[in-house]
Chain A
Amino acid sequence: MSKTVTFTVFRYDPERDRKPHYKDYKVELRRAGMMVLDGLNQIRWEQDGTLSYRRSCREGVCGSDGFNINGVNMLACITHIEDLKEPIVVQPLPSMPVIKDLVVDFTDFYNKYYLIKPYLITKTPPPSDRERLQSPEDRRKLDGLYECILCGCCSSSCPSYWADPNYLGPAALLKAWRFIADSRDEGTDERLEIINDRDGAWRCHTILNCVEACPKLLNPTEAIAHLKKTIISKKF
């Protein structure tokens, strides 16, 4: 007989439910290495078509299926069921408004991302017929920064982000440092002006939840420390 595990899933349908509730499902482990996303798919395809969640790449690169699983934010598509304690409690990312079940509203998260000017800013025109040059050392400074997939796991795990609705949050700040750290970028001053604020880099209290939550093993706290250091060093 194959093994089954219990999933306890957060359910909320705005058209029907006054309050959210939890529902238990049995997931059958049919092969080694099944992920939490495989379990959710099994529930929806075979047991309960009303369950909603986002998913796309199913290999940890698109950032669609960030959920709170057994109390920690992670991507369902790269989290092995067998590594988790039962029951496996799947909830939406904390602090974000719920649209339905595990689907949350990312509007505020994206707006904060847009705010930091998330694109290369240049004032010097590039060479007309070839690439700008960048040394491998300078390029290496982007490793650990450009891999962010905007899944929201970091920001929605941050108590400062929960407490202060205006705080930009680790994802947006990591993105800001990704551009400031780029030897080709010339937008440092305008970005720092936005970030040098009580709702910007200074709201980070180094709680480090973001580091723990990041499924890409990035370190937003470190990026924020670099931002703070750069702001200070510009002053003196």
Chain B
Amino acid sequence: MAELNVTIHKHDAVIVGAGGAGLRAALEASRSVNTAVISQVFPTRSHTVAAQGGVAASLSNVEPDDWVWHMFDTIKGSDYLGDQDAIEFMCRMAPEVVIELEHMGMPFSRLNDGKIFQRRFGGHTKDFGKDAICRTCAAADRTGHAMLHTLYEQCVKSGVVFYNEFFALQLLTNEGHVVGVLTWDMCNGGFHIFHAKATLFATGGYVRVYRTNSNAHINTGDGLSLALRAGLPAEDLEFVQFHPTGIYGVGNLITEGVRGEGGYLLNKDGERFMKRYAPTVWDLASRDVVSRAMAEEMRQGRGCGPKGDFILLKLDHVGADLIHERLPGIWELARVFAYVDCTKEPIPVVPTAHYSMGGIPTNRFAEVVLGGMDGKEEVVRGFYAAGEAACASVHGANRLGSNSLLDIMVFGKVGGAKMAEFAESLPEHVPLPENPGKEGIQEVRKLLDTTDGERMAAIWDELKDTMELNCGVFRTEETLTTQRTVLDRLCERFKTVRVFDKSLAYNLDLIETLELGHMLDFSKAIVEGALARTESRGAHYRDDFPKRDDENWHKHTLAVMEEDGSIRLDYKPVRMKPLTVPTFEPKERVY
């Protein structure tokens, strides 16, 4: 590979990732400091665009609501692993951030009185679990699209600087500060360092490591492994949410909004089985409960189809008019991906890897924190994380539907404000370290120079299949130990991986190989965390330990990567004290 210069750019605030969290942060930071956004794709192609159902906020537009009810649902949904101060903060801020979006021009669907339309969603209830409630604010079933475009429009208006199609290679640290990030220019080739006073990672989730998943190709958890490689911890990675209704065979998502509008699940006997698993709210129980109920039905031989390996989602009874008005996107998806006209027939669905509850640990201000069981948290200077890449932890062991779009708005906004404040407090940039980005540059050089060895695809295939099989909806000591061995072997193979494409311009082979390296790194942390956690909680279900064990496991997992690439686990307490209301003590979860 030819020698390439390293170009250095200097900004006050640098945000990596242009999804909802990244753009909301950029918008906020750009009001006071020079702000740049680095994105692997053009911003409106970020995965937020695929969010369908809506954003939760206790606006009370349809029926009386209260942020404390929303807070209770979120804590209960998290299987009591969520941090209660952060959850209170998020639920209280929800109406404000949603109204701001409307003021920015987001095209929400409307009620007859002109207010923002709200629908039911899984796990959202009134009066502490009494009945389902209309809390989820929606733009038909294209809420994420409407939100992402609106935010991008506002960023254009406010003059945020965008570096599109740059791929992050290394987090840069010096003197205990995060000082920016090394990147690769995807279109032209070449290394670029973004030197910043404050850096925020909004790099998205990591469920592309599963074969059947609802995520975009780009959701490979890169920010997470860059943090691990920089010696920072990752929190609660073993909690991977399976959404109940991915389209059978392909995984594209059918929003929970379908059940919110009256759709329901059927087994092969045509039975609404959810009544047995969640007698109060049936199909609107939280996602972990519904996913496991579906998997259980299939395990007991009540799945549909010749192999008994899917469940039917019926919604034709709500009427073609409502479907075309409120759920036009899923009508399209069902037609294209399942060959089904959902105004007439049910859609075949399966639980599908969907959302990463774990991520880079932060406090409720999106500041990245260090600190274990002694309870003291220390802020990493100059480093912030928000959205699915972060673990605030507002979702705990399981996220409620429509809380992810809320999460990215609240912590994006707060993170942007915090990084601007911090940048303004620093008179000058903390200097770059000596030889900045040496490891990242080395990594790319090596990949482009290697001329023999195997390509990434076979390794990646095996990673996806085995993660799904051994670390999926159901897990045991045996499957997880097997997966640990598989990962060791795959990491060994990856050491001599070969990139076939040697060109500098738009080298997708290089990018996917780098991504595979990231996935292998954090998969080890997912598996180690899951193996150690000998209990079932939220999305983490151990067949050999089916009960929740609060005495031993009511704590967050922290994974740290050692020099040799192995994972060391540490733990920290769940923050049980909310800001202004009494603690919600752990209880059995019944829906």
- The listed residue (A56, A59, A100) touching B503 by CB distance below 8 A is A100
A110 to B165, CA, bound (A): 14
Expressed in whole angstroms, the Cα–Cα distance for A4 and B291 within the complex equals 36
Q: Does B127 make an interface contact (CB < 8 A)?
A: no
B187 touches A99 (CB 8 A): yes
- CB pair B501–A49 under 8 Å, yes or no, is yes
Distance to closest chain B CB from A91 (angstroms): 16
Q: Is B99 touching A62 in the complex (CB atoms < 8 A)?
A: no
Pick out which of these stretches binds chain A: B44-52, B309-317, B390-398.
B44-52
Q: Are A135 and B110 in contact (CB under 8 A)?
A: yes
B residues near A179, Cβ cutoff 8 Å: 105
**Contact residues in B for A185 (Cβ distance below 8 Å):** 105
> Bound complex: CA of A67 vs CA of B506, how far in Å?
16
Q: Interface residue count for B (Cβ, 8 Å)?
A: 60
* CB neighbours of A103 from chain B (8 A): 187, 505-506
Contact residues in A for B46 (Cβ distance below 8 Å): 56, 62
Q: Which chain A positions have C-beta within 8 A of B105?
A: 119-120, 179, 182, 184-185
State whether B49 touches A57 (Cβ < 8 A).
yes
User: Is A166 close to B, CB under 8 A?
Assistant: no
Within 8 A of A (CB), among B98-129: 98-99, 102-105, 107-116
Interface of A is mostly: loop
When distances are taken between beta carbons in the complex, the residues of chain B under 8 Å from A52 are 501, 505-509
| Interface 1/0 per residue, A190-201 and B, CB below 8 Å | 000000000000
A55 CA to B506 CA, complexed, in Å: 12
How far, in whole Å, are A138 and B114 apart by their CA atoms in the complex? 9
What is the CB-to-nearest-CB distance from B304 to chain A, in angstroms, rounded to a whole number?
A: 17
Complex Cα spacing A78 to B250, Å:
12
Which residues from B are CB-within-8-Å of A48?
A: 500
Quick check: B41 and A64 within 8 Å, CB to CB?
yes
Which of the candidate stretches A11-19, A155-163, A223-231 sits at the interface with the other chain? Answer: A11-19
Kindly list chain B residues whose C-beta atoms are within 8 Å of the C-beta of A110.
42
A96 within 8 A of B: no
Residues in B whose Cβ lies below 8 Å from that of A15:
503-505
Output the least CB separation between B64 and chain A (Å): 15
How many angstroms from the CA of A14 to the CA of B337 in the assembled complex? Answer: 36
Which A residues are CB-close (under 8 A) to B45?
A: 54, 56-57, 62-64
Contact present for A133 and B41 (CB under 8 Å): no
21 A-B residue pairs with Cβ-Cβ distance under 8 Å, sorted by A, are: A33-B250, A44-B509, A49-B501, A50-B501, A51-B508, A56-B218, A60-B336, A61-B145, A62-B46, A62-B49, A62-B50, A64-B41, A99-B187, A133-B114, A136-B110, A136-B111, A138-B110, A139-B109, A147-B145, A149-B44, A179-B105
- Listed in ascending order, the chain B residues whose CB lies under 8 Å from chain A are 41-42, 44-47, 49-50, 98-99, 102-105, 107-116, 139, 142, 145-146, 149-150, 153-154, 156-157, 187, 216-218, 249-250, 252, 329, 332-333, 336-337, 339, 455, 457, 460, 499-501, 503-509
